[in-house]
């Protein structure tokens, strides 16, 4: 019997047994665990954190037997250890089944809180307390509430729980129920809960909100949502779209009003003029509000007749009232192209009327480029003199060297094109054309010219006065006598006679030859004085020079 008793005691220890509450003494409960042994357990071990114990004599409770008998002959038992063993067994099953567990937040620790899960202590991270950050967690402590177990490790005794996941699940279920009652096209009142750069979140029901995008707030241009609404405002919205999968709700305010773009083509016909307000300025132009919800773009190229490559902000300013002309309307793309300069006088057309083609004008050289001169004609307009219109005789590259910026010149208007915004000028046309001054000179005629330059290949001459036509006599055409075909026998300023051997008025080219003139004169002399009847020989008539030529 002694051996059996000892064996029973050994099996009894370190186990959970069912005991009977035999007495309540102050803050202790006396429990009979069998084997004629009783133990004492503090009452607080029978209560959850922050609550009173609910135990009475005669109740059966499970306790953990640490030792059957201590020095006082009493059993050493623990209700807390029994609850912990029981709790771990129960929690493991709930964790595997992904069920919710009940617990009480009873203490704050670093990084979060401790939770009593009816015997087992778990850790609640601060990020898992609520959906939104919680500044004061006092109202959440010492009350029984649901949690979800995120992680369990019995060997280390670690349990991590989340209250946030429960709230998210409840909210999702609630949101689904509310969304089922909503229909696209419904109108609802909501409260603005948050404003961002791209829109605002409007609460339609507790826990259910929708996005009101900035583009759906008004038919007019809005730079930021705060221009229209504020947090906590109650607004009337229309449900534009509901995503059946994500249950996201898109809202709109402008959809509560008629679309101003309907029939806009008839309201704003082409070439009609209207007054509007500048609402936005960009690098490529300015937007003009014609009415609420209707904006048109004035491209930078349509802002000024004369100001080119200038930022639109230097021509107009925000909120400025301007008169514009309708250039194009695309109702399907919701676009209107406007023109600002079309409502102003066209300086190019005005100039054309004031200065017809052929008029002579005077202006200051504003710029010199590789292809000509730009001459200022008015405060706004410039004309261009092409290289080919600088001088009748010189090449453009040579003639342009005589001009410099700031110099005043006279020019004739050759062409005015208001559409291309271009005025063509000519400097050489101010004077007469040397080719025209020659009159009826044709091939075979003799002309008197002045030597202007001596070159190795011939001489340069000018027919007529200082503004006469220039030509070049090649070395081989300087004389019939080869010994006289030397350019150095002439000097600048010499006046000589030459014969026109070729003339091309299109290319403005004249070919002259002294040799041809001398040959013609010789022939004429022979015909006149060298006939057979006269008895004179050719040598007698032309002299020794002709003999030398015959020898050659």
Q: CA dihedral defined by 352, 357, 362, 368, rounded to 10 degrees?
A: 90
Question: What per-residue confidence (pLDDT) applies to 227?
Answer: 87
Question: What per-residue confidence (pLDDT) applies to 44?
Answer: 73
User: Three-state SS for 423?
Assistant: strand
Is a pLDDT exceeding 50 seen at residue 532? no
Per-residue pLDDT reduced to its tens digit, 348-371: 888 888 889 999 999 999 999 998
> Mean per-residue pLDDT for 170-197?
84
Residues of 123-158 as b/e, b for ≥16 C-beta within 10 angstroms? bbeeebbeeeeeeeeeebeeeeebbbbbebeeeeee
Question: What per-residue confidence (pLDDT) applies to 251?
Answer: 93
Under 8 Å between Cβ of 236 and 276: no
Under 8 Å between Cβ of 413 and 355: yes
Under 8 Å between Cβ of 34 and 20: no
Q: What are the backbone angles phi and psi of residue 47, rounded to the nearest 5°?
A: -125, 150
Tell me which H or E stretch contains 184: none
Under 8 Å between Cβ of 469 and 441: no
> Mean per-residue pLDDT for 404-412?
92
503 beta partners:
510
Q: Which region, left, alpha or beta, applies to residue 320 given φ > 0 means left and ψ of -120 to 50 means alpha?
A: beta
Percent of the chain with pLDDT over 90: 31
Label residue 473 by pLDDT band (50, 70, 90): very high
d(CA 240, CA 261): 19
Angle at 85 between CA 84 and CA 86, to 5 degrees: 90
Query: Which ranges in 412-471 belong to alpha helices (H)?
Result: 434-437
d(CA 313, CA 315): 5
Q: CA dihedral defined by 75, 76, 82, 83, rounded to 10 degrees?
A: 120
Quote the tokens at residue 443. 């091939």
Question: What per-residue confidence (pLDDT) applies to 88?
Answer: 81
The DSSP 8-state label assigned to residue 75 in this structure reads B
Per-residue pLDDT reduced to its tens digit, 257-314: 888 888 888 999 999 999 999 999 999 999 999 988 899 999 999 998 888 788 999 9
Question: What per-residue confidence (pLDDT) applies to 548?
Answer: 45
Quote the tokens at residue 301. 């190229």
Higher pLDDT pick, 1 / 235: 235
Residues of 515-531 as b/e, b for ≥16 C-beta within 10 angstroms? bbbbeeebeeeeeeebe
Q: In which order are the strands placed within the sheet that holds 28-34?
A: 37-42, 28-34, 15-25, 60-67, 76-78
Average of per-residue pLDDT values in the chain: 83
Quote the tokens at residue 135. 């500044």
User: 């509000």: which residue's tokens?
Assistant: 289
Higher pLDDT pick, 247 / 366: 366
Q: Indicate the pTM of the whole model.
A: 0.47
User: Three-state SS for 48?
Assistant: coil
Spell out the domains of the chain, with CATH numbers in brackets: 19-99 (2.40.50.140), 100-168 (2.40.50.140), 182-256 (2.40.50.140), 286-343 (2.40.50.140), 347-430 (2.40.50.140), 437-520 (2.40.50.140)
Is a pLDDT exceeding 80 seen at residue 434? no
User: 């009480």: which residue's tokens?
Assistant: 104
Q: CA dihedral defined by 316, 321, 323, 329, rounded to 10 degrees?
A: 90
User: Three-state SS for 172?
Assistant: helix
Beta strand pairing call for 249-252 and 273-282: unpaired
Is a pLDDT exceeding 90 seen at residue 338? yes
Report residue 284 CA to chain centroid gap. Answer: 11
């Amino acid at each position: 019997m002694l051996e059996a008793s000892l064996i029973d005691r050994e099996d009894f220890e370190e186990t959970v047994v069912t005991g009977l509450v035999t007495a309540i003494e102050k803050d202790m409960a006396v429990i009979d665990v069998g084997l004629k042994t009783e133990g004492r357990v503090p009452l607080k071990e029978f209560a959850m954190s922050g609550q009173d114990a609910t135990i009475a004599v005669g109740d059966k409770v499970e306790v953990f037997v640490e030792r059957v008998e201590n020095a006082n002959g009493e059993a050493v038992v623990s209700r807390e250890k029994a609850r912990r063993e029981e709790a771990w067994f129960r929690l493991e099953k709930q964790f595997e089944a992904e069920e919710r567990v009940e617990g009480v937040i009873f203490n704050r620790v670093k990084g979060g809180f401790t939770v009593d899960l009816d015997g087992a202590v778990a850790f609640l991270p601060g990020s898992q307390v609520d959906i939104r950050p919680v500044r004061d967690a006092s109202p959440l402590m010492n009350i029984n509430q649901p949690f979800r177990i995120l992680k369990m490790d019995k060997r280390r005794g670690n349990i991590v729980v989340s209250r946030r996941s429960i709230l998210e699940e409840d909210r999702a279920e609630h949101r689904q129920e509310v969304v089922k009652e909503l229909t696209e096209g419904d109108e609802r009142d909501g409260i603005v809960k948050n404003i961002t750069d791209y829109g605002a979140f409007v609460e339609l029901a507790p826990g259910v909100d929708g996005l009101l995008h900035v583009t759906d707030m008004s038919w007019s241009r809005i730079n930021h949502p705060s221009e229209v609404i504020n947090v906590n405002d109650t607004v009337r919205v229309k449900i534009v779209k509901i995503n059946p999968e994500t249950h996201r709700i898109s809202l709109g305010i402008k959809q509560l009003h008629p679309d101003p773009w309907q029939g806009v083509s008839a309201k704003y016909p082409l070439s009609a003029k209207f007054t509007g307000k500048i609402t936005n300025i960009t690098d490529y132009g300015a937007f003009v509000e014609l009415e609420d919800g209707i904006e048109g773009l004035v491209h930078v190229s349509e802002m000024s007749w004369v100001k080119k490559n200038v930022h639109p902000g230097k021509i107009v300013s925000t909120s400025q009232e301007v008169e514009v002309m309708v250039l194009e309307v695309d109702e399907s793309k919701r676009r209107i192209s406007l023109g600002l300069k079309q409502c102003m006088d066209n300086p190019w057309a005005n100039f054309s009327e004031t200065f017809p083609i052929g008029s002579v004008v005077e202006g200051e050289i504003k710029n010199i480029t590789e292809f000509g001169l730009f001459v200022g004609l008015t405060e706004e307009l410039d004309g261009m003199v092409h290289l080919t219109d600088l001088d009748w005789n010189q090449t453009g590259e040579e003639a342009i060297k005589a001009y410099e910026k700031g110099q005043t010149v006279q020019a004739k208007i050759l062409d005015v094109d208001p559409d291309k915004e271009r005025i063509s000028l000519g400097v050489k046309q101010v004077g007469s054309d040397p080719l025209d001054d020659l009159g009826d000179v044709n091939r075979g005629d003799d002309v008197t010219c002045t030597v202007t330059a001596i070159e190795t290949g011939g001489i340069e001459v000018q027919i007529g006065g200082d503004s006469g036509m220039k030509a070049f006599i090649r070395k081989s055409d300087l004389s019939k006598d080869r010994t006289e075909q030397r350019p150095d026998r002439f000097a600048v300023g010499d006046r000589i006679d030459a014969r026109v051997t070729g003339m091309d008025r299109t290319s403005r080219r004249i070919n002259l030859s002294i040799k041809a003139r001398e040959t013609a004169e010789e022939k004429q002399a022979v015909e006149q004085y060298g006939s057979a009847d006269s008895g004179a020989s050719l040598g007698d008539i032309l002299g020794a020079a002709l003999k030398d030529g015959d020898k050659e």
